[in-house]
Amino acid sequence: HASPPQFPPENLTMRPQPTPPNLADYQITADLARVDWPRVHAWLASSYWTPGISLERIQRAARNSAVVLSAFLHNTQAAFLRVVSDRTRFAYLCDVWVDTPHRGRGLARHLVQHALNHPDLATCNWLLATQDAHGVYQKLGFTPLPNPERFMSKGAFGAVSS
């Protein structure tokens, strides 16, 4: 099967996202060619949800994601996220990371809002998992699952092999 068309980075302007003044110097892009893969690998390999994950798995996951967004400040990557989706009904927000010096400015919320405003994902219901950032996501309209007993999982979430 042919892979679905990837969303062109320039289409992020289709649904403008107001930029808070304190984030005006950050550039958000969906261009995978700009991702600083060693930097993103260091972040995600040190996370609680993918400890020790290999660079190859991160890159393969990004290539197979519906959306990958990065934030840059003066050409240095400051944040990353990706969305796994069928682009119609379901979107799973994952691998959201803001580098330590850039935290506390609203960058994660701003980057997630860009993903939520993505035109390819306009009809989707969203899901995410977090251990420690509930406040960030609640401000964006996320709530606890209404019926968590209906959900099941397979695999060792948070115990990922390289």
Average pLDDT rounded to a whole number, residues 15-35? 88
- Within 8 A by CB and 6+ apart from 20, the residues are 106, 110
What is the Cα–Cα distance from 68 to 120, expressed in whole angstroms?
13
Taking 90 as the threshold, does the pLDDT of residue 5 lie above it?
no
Counting DSSP H helices and E strands in the chain, the numbers are: 4, 5
Residue type present at position 99: D
Taking 50 as the threshold, does the pLDDT of residue 8 lie above it?
no
Q: How far is CA 120 from CA 30, 90, 103, 153, in A?
A: 13, 11, 28, 26
Using pLDDT thresholds of 50, 70 and 90, give the confidence band for residue 16: low
Using pLDDT thresholds of 50, 70 and 90, give the confidence band for residue 155: confident
Residue pair 121/66 in contact by the 8 Å Cβ criterion: yes
pLDDT value at position 15?
52
Average pLDDT rounded to a whole number, residues 83-92? 97
Say which range, 21-25, 60-64, 154-158, has the weakest mean pLDDT: 154-158
Residue pair 23/105 in contact by the 8 Å Cβ criterion: yes
What is the Cα–Cα distance from 99 to 67, expressed in whole angstroms?
20
What is the Cα–Cα distance from 66 to 55, expressed in whole angstroms?
19
Average pLDDT rounded to a whole number, residues 119-123? 94
